[in-house]
Chain A
Amino acid sequence: LQLQESGPGLVKPSETLSLTCTVSGGSISSSSYYWGWIRQPPGKGLEWIGSIYYSGSTYYNPSLKSRVTISVDTSNNQFSLKLSSVTAADTAVYYCARRDYHSYAMDVWGQGTTVTVSS
């Protein structure tokens, strides 16, 4: 199974960041997994953004919840992240990952994509 993030590498302040994660080698509709987004600002630690189940149920980091939307497209085996009203503080490497439903651990990760917020 492989995950691949895609989307613009540069976003202007106040705009919406949009990323897609494409799942290959397995089905996003598996009942055994959630799918999530994590980010890492330059030189800093990991921050969990949120996760989604194939049915569409979601849960988000409370500190980002007002700006985050995660959605799933089972027909294309993809899930997506939208983060609104971005600022320079949202500049980071964004990772998508698979979360095991039973162990809660993120066992497969994408390679990450760098998003810079700048005018």
Chain B
Amino acid sequence: DIQMTQSPSSVSASVGDRVTITCRASQGISSWLAWYQQKPGKAPKLLIYAASNLQSGVPSRFSGSGSGTDFTLTISSLQPEDFATYYCQQASSPFGGGTKVEIK
């Protein structure tokens, strides 16, 4: 079974900071990776699909990259509404453990 490992598990950042979250697959998954944002009490929201494609309506400060086993989600300039937990997911199977982005 494929395992997805996210790091860090939490990050403290300020508005305007650049934030990078990584996700590593236990074996190669080509580009079949998605990123989701979840706010407390809400359902997850799709941000990025197929590793680097921005979902419609998602701000361009979000970007994704990577293929094979190593992937990255970058928020270029953190906004107040971006404080949330972020998850990666291989295809539609295992999720990573999540990264909580907190206010510094």
Residues of chain A whose beta carbon lies under 8 Å from any beta carbon of chain B: 34, 36, 38, 45-48, 51, 61-62, 95, 99-100, 103-107, 109-112
Contacts and interface: CB of A to CB of B under 8 A. Distances in A.
Interface of B: 1, 32, 34, 36, 38, 43-46, 49-50, 53, 55, 87, 89, 91-98
A45 B43 CA distance: 12
Main secondary structure of the interface of A (DSSP, over half): strand
Contacts, number: 62
Contact of A45 (B1, B49, B97): B97
Contacts of B45: 109
A109 B34 CA distance: 14
Contacts of A111: 43
Contact of A34 (B36, B92, B94): B92
